[in-house]
Chain A
Amino acid sequence: EDKVVQSPLSLVVHEGDTVTLNCSYEVTNFRSLLWYKQEKKAPTFLFMLTSSGIEKKSGRLSSILDKKELFSILNITATQTGDSAVYLCARPETSGSRLTFGEGTQLTVNP
């Protein structure tokens, strides 16, 4: 099973701060890397990255992939309390289509 490793495991910041979440992965045949946000129970899709160096952006969130160094980062600027959640990184298994998830980063944004 290809591993997905996220860091930090938890992060506490104040509103307005900028945060960077990290995801590193092992690869045999890379296809894509995905980011999800989990607030209560159901993770919701954020980004799918397939190409190195091309930033994906949605509002205050952005993500980029480095296929050479085998990692991705998720940036959140001007954080708000509503950004508090677990952020999950995932990639398809090389042996099948199932997604392998990292342990997640628990982000807490305090007022």
Chain B
Amino acid sequence: GAGVSQSPSNKVTEKGKDVELRCDPISGHTALYWYRQSLGQGLEFLIYFQGNSAPDKSGLPSDRFSAERTGGSVSTLTIQRTQQEDSAVYLCASGGDRYNEKLFFGSGTQLSVL
């Protein structure tokens, strides 16, 4: 696609429910990142995929969070048993330059846990 696409754009859920967030990166980009941004805060790294290498999961805040990337393209971030503190904007980005530093971001998913 022309840009990074994320869905849904907004998600309201009840505490304790599971949610899945989807990211469709720019075609051909080998790097894919998930970041989280709470209101008024900076970007918090969650997980990084690069090609077929093992993902860097070091930013995932708890074992309730997981992500996968199928076929080196689409990625899904899953949050199990959501808590109110999970409420944030979840941003996906993809990169295709040599060091994957020039990232292209999607418009994010605003997650609200009631």
- A interface residues, Cβ below 8 angstroms from B: 31-32, 34, 40-45, 48, 88, 90, 92, 96-104
Decide: B43 and A101 in contact? CB cutoff 8 A. Answer: yes
User: Would you call B31 and A41 a contact (CB within 8 A)?
Assistant: no
| Alpha-carbon gap, A84 to B108, bound state (A) | 20
Residue of A nearest to B110 (CB): A41
Show 18 A/B contacts (Cβ-Cβ < 8 Å), sorted by A: A31-B101, A32-B101, A34-B101, A40-B107, A41-B91, A42-B91, A42-B105, A42-B107, A42-B108, A43-B105, A88-B42, A97-B100, A97-B101, A98-B45, A98-B48, A99-B33, A101-B42, A101-B45
Query: Which residues of the partner chain A approach B101 to less than 8 Å between Cβ atoms?
Result: 31-32, 34, 48, 92, 97, 99
User: Which 9 residue pairs of A and B lie closest in terms of their CB atoms, listed nearest first?
Assistant: A41-B108, A101-B43, A42-B105, A103-B42, A98-B48, A42-B107, A41-B107, A43-B105, A101-B42
Contact with A along B98-110 (1 / 0, CB 8 A): 0111111111101
**Measured CA separation A104–B99 after assembly (Å):** 23
Q: State the CA gap A103–B37 with chains docked (Å).
A: 10
In the complex the two chains form, is A32's CB within 8 Å of B106's CB?
no
A103 / chain B contacts, CB cutoff of 8 Å: 41-42
**B18 interface contact, C-beta 8 A:** no
Considering only residues 57-114 of chain B, those with a C-beta below 8 Å from chain A are 59, 89, 91, 99-108, 110
| Contact flag A44-B105 (CB < 8 Å), given A31-B99, A97-B99, A99-B33 | yes
Task: List the B residue with the shortest CB-CB distance to A103.
Answer: B42
Tell me whether B7 is interfacial, beta carbon within 8 Å: no
- Contact status A42-B106, CB under 8 Å: yes
